[in-house]
Amino acid sequence: MTEESLTDDLQTVLNRMAETLKQRLSARGTPDPVMIGIHTGGVWVAEALHRRLGLSQPLGKLDISFYRDDFSRIGMHPQVKPSSLPFGVDDRHIVLVDDVLYTGRTIRAALNEIFDYGRPASVTLAVLVERDGRELPIEAQVAGQHLSLRPDQQVKLRGPDPLRLEVASIKEQP
Amino acid sequence: MSSAADAPRLVSAPGPLPASLQFNEEGRLRHLLSIEGLSRELITEILDTAESFASMNAQSVKKVPLLRGKTVVNLFFEASTRTRTTFELAAKRLSADVLNINISASATVKGESLLDTLRNLEAMYVDMFVVRHEASGAAHFIARHVAPHVSVLNAGDGRHAHPTQALLDMFTIRRHKGDFGALRVAIVGDILHSRVARSQIHALNILNTGEIRVIAPQSLLPAHVESLGVHVYNDIRAGLRDVDVVIMLRLQRERMEAGLLPSEHEFFQLYGLTQERLALAKPKCLVMHPGPANRGVEIDSRVADGPQSVILEQVTYGIAVRMAVMSMIMGGSVNP
């Protein structure tokens, strides 16, 4: 991927995502789904999409710390936040939103958590960034942009205001 | 009658216990034995994590997979219903398997047989002991002797500590009152025999509580209680004035030697929490009790069941707080 995709104005990317999502939802006959963002970056992206789509239900927020598959190795995430789904999920069409789709493990955990709240009619996955490196059969239906990164690189969404993407080499992390 | 005297081989005295025993080399919480030695940051982290577990009550499946495949042993040498039940539920809601072992606190329970019990359980590859014992320091003793893969959680040892009770009380206070710095908290009753009071006082101090008061007759106060950073009141009317939280303690009749109190009736007359006395506190003063309450001894039923009472909330939050502690202790036991 070229450098300019990184510097793409995120507002433009979000507008494009919202448009794609809108078309997709109306084509499916589910124009007013419930939306759930995954803490923390996913919530920021979800807030932006939620506004643009004008959804009637309030935004749900999920912290997947209790469902991570690496808990027994690295322990509890130090800043776990409460999950709040201010609606029943049974028979609802859900748009699940995250900032970066990489291995797919976060989405696996989020799906497990959602199913502990009930049985949704469908789940659509929307992500701001997808990068290569999937370890599970999980793909996004709507992706803002695709990034090709080396395994030693990390992409992170900083925010909430303004939102900006940051690519760093993992070795440089403290 | 002190039955603790029957088990002196466990420890010579509770004394100052090594706080470092609670943490591993990386500074991660490995055992929870007492509130002493915990930082304000760590307590806040425990309460924040508990907040997330409390929100789980909205799930139709009230269970998370964190401790799947782990085995938690409730090792109770002293009778308890509420504490054991909430520990059991907490472990089960974390998907752990739970074994309840009640060992009657008879004179035959000596140091050697306790170690034998531990070795046998360790040989079954269990992961955590939740220990309640009548002897102060019992949980420390066990923590010092367990295999490296086992964690110990103190569920009450003698007069020494009951850390998860104090943490759930802090959680309850924080939910209702927010910042501890502005609060005046009174602990009333049998401070002398109360491990709950001791742990509460440490926790309230670590959280920088505005003022901590203890209200009790002199015979039910430990010597030099002021050194814990509390103000002492022998008169309940003076002590309750303008407090934001009042914590009543259970009169521990089973631990009491003769002569400490004239009678329960007289105790209620002098120190029982009634509506009329509660009116001396701030209008929205919380009424707390670790349970089980002796109605008509330390607290009037109308107060225990009244609008300011959060006694049943304490029970509910006890599960979330214990889930938080258990998951923090058990997580990351294998180095990444």
Cis peptide bond prior to A78, omega within 30° of 0: no
Secondary structure class of B277 (helix, strand, coil): helix
B104 three-state secondary structure: coil
By Cβ distance, the residue of B54, B60, B331 closest to A118 is B60
Whether B85 sits among the annotated catalytic residues: the reply is: no
Q: Give A63 to chain B, closest Cα distance, Å.
A: 9
Mean pLDDT of B253-260: 69
B323 touches chain A (CB under 8 A): no
User: Which H or E run contains A122?
Assistant: strand A122-131
**Facing residue for A116 by CB, picked from B28, B53, B61:** B61
**B162 labelled catalytic:** yes
Q: How many whole angstroms separate alpha carbon B336 and alpha carbon B177? A: 39
Q: What would the mean pLDDT of A91-120 be, rounded to a whole number?
A: 96
**Interface check B57 vs A, CB under 8 A:** no
Chain A residue whose CA is closest to B49: A80
Q: Is the ipTM of this complex over 0.85?
A: no
Spell B111-129 as b/e; 16+ CB within 10 A means b.
beebeebbeebbeeebbbb
Residues of A in contact with B52 (CB under 8 A): 63, 65-66, 80-83
Whether the per-residue pLDDT at B13 is higher than 70: the answer is no
Residue ranges of the binding site of B for carbamoyl phosphate? 82-83, 132, 162, 165, 291-292
Burial grade of B176 (CB within 10 A; 0-12, 13-18, 19 or more) = middle
For CA atoms B150, B154, B160, B161, give the dihedral sign: positive
Per residue in B207-217, pLDDT (tens digit) is: 999 999 999 99
- The answer to whether A170 contacts chain B (CB < 8 Å) is no
The answer, yes or no, to whether residue B12 has pLDDT greater than 60, is no
CA dihedral sign of residues B294, B295, B297, B302? positive
Among candidates B48, B55, B63 on the partner chain, residue whose Cβ is nearest the Cβ of A84 = B55
Q: pLDDT digits over A63-95, tens only?
A: 999 998 888 787 877 788 889 999 999 999 999
In this predicted structure, the answer to whether residue B156 has a pLDDT above a threshold of 90 is yes
Distances from the Cα of A77 to the Cα of A65, B24, B30, B69, B257, angstroms: 6, 17, 16, 20, 47
Token pair 């120190």 is found at B271
Nearest to B43 by CA among B331, B328, B244, B245: B328
Are A82 and B54 an interchain contact pair (Cβ–Cβ within 8 Å)?
yes
Considering only CB atoms, B331 lies closest to which of A76, A82, A118, namely: A76
Cβ–Cβ < 8 Å for B257, B1: yes
Mutation target for B interface from A80, A111, A119, A170: give the one with most B CBs within 10 A.
A80
Does B63 contact A81 at a Cβ distance shorter than 8 Å?
Answer: no
The 10s digit of each residue's pLDDT in B92-106 is 999 999 999 888 654
- Catalytic hit among B28, B92, B110, B175: B110
**DSSP secondary-structure letter at A56?**
S
The pLDDT, as a whole number, for residue B105 is 53
Chain A residues inside the 8 Å CB shell of B335? 73
| A-chain residues near B26 (CB < 8 A) | none
Mean pLDDT for B41-70 is 92
Helices (H), ranges, B163-274: 163-177, 195-206, 236-240, 264-271
Q: Under CATH, which architecture does the B7-161+316-329 domain have?
A: 3-Layer(aba) Sandwich (3.40)
Topology (CATH level 3) of domain B163-311 = Rossmann fold (3.40.50)
User: What is the domain partition of chain B in residue ranges?
Assistant: 7-161+316-329, 163-311
B82 catalytic? Reply is: yes
Same CATH fold assignment for domains B7-161+316-329 and B163-311: yes
Look up residue B1 and give its two tokens: 């009658």
Global pTM value: 0.86
Q: How many CB pairs under 8 A join A and B?
A: 67
Give the integer Cα–Cα distance in Å for B90 and B319. 5
The residue with tokens 């521990």 is B252
Lowest-confidence segment of A57-61, B25-29, B225-229 by average pLDDT: B25-29
Rounded Cα distance, B20 and B118, in Å:
22
The C-alpha angle with vertex B333 and arms to B166 and B24, in degrees rounded to 5, equals: 65
The answer to whether residue B1 scores a pLDDT higher than 50 is: no
- Strand pairing category for A142-147 and A153-158: unpaired
Q: Which pLDDT does position A76 carry in this prediction?
A: 78
Judge if the upstream peptide bond of residue B18 is cis by omega within 30 degrees of 0: no
| Beta pairing, strands A122-131 & A153-158 | unpaired
The tens digit of pLDDT for each residue in B117-151 reads: 888 899 999 999 999 999 999 999 999 999 999 99
**Identified catalytic residue from B132, B159, B160, B174:** B132
**Per-residue pLDDT at A70:** 86
Q: Give me the phi and psi of A97, to 5 degrees please.
A: -125, 130
Q: What angle do CA B309, A86, A79 make, to 5 degrees?
A: 75
pLDDT of residue B252 exceeding 50: yes
**What pLDDT does A154 receive?**
92
- B328 interaction partners in chain A (CB closer than 8 Å): 75-76
Strand, helix or coil for residue B303: helix
Residues of A in contact with B54 (CB under 8 A): 82
Residue A70, SS3? coil
Cα separation, B216 vs B268, whole angstroms: 12
Whether residues B336 and A116 touch (CB distance < 8 A) is answered with no
Tell me if B58 and A85 make a contact (CB, 8 A cut-off): yes
Mean pLDDT for the stretch of residues A31-59: 96
Which residues on chain A are in Cβ contact (under 8 Å) with B171?
A: none
Q: Which of B31, B84, B162, B174 is catalytic?
A: B162
